[in-house]
């Protein structure tokens, strides 16, 4: 099992949004809007596949949620029910949750999308 291949798979899909994409954390000088993604392991080896949770956070600095919602909509359309094989991994993504996340800075708008990922490593 190579989680790096799964992360690359998700990264390549998220880049289709034409927004900057970062693994786990954005640099302090990142411009808005941007996307952060992170995998959490949830089940390894009990089934013939490995299941993960993919957290995708869309960040923006704006007076409203219009742009961040458009980006989140695009991500949801790109990933939900997607079966995306490549040379190393066969990953299928399913949306589990989508929510606004409040920030103490009222100019920051954030939406978190949570996907379950069923993966088979080839």
Q: Where are the domains of the chain?
A: 3-121
Class of domain 3-121: alpha beta
Give Cα separations from 22 to 28, 59, 72 (angstroms).
12, 11, 15
SS3 54: strand
Q: Strands, E, within 2-105: which ranges?
A: 20-23, 34-44, 50-61, 82-85, 89-100
d(CA 30, CA 49): 35
Instruction: Give tens-digit pLDDT for 3-59.
Output: 788 888 899 999 999 999 999 999 999 999 999 999 987 766 666 778 889 999 999
φ/ψ (deg, to 5) at 101: -120, 120
Instruction: Give tens-digit pLDDT for 47-99.
Output: 677 888 999 999 999 999 999 999 999 999 999 998 877 777 788 999 999 99
């Amino acid at each position: 099992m190579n989680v790096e291949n799964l992360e690359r798979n998700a990264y390549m899909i998220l880049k289709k949004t034409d927004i900057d994409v970062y693994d786990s954390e954005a640099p302090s000088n990142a411009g808005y809007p941007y996307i952060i993604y992170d995998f959490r392991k949830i089940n390894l080896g009990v089934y013939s596949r490995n299941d993960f949770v993919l957290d995708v956070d869309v960040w923006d600095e704006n007076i409203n949620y219009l742009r961040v919602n458009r980006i989140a909509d695009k991500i949801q359309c790109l990933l939900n029910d997607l079966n995306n094989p490549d040379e190393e991994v066969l990953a299928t993504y399913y949306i589990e949750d989508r929510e606004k996340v409040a920030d103490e800075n009222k100019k920051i708008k954030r939406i978190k999308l949570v996907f379950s990922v069923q993966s088979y490593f080839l």
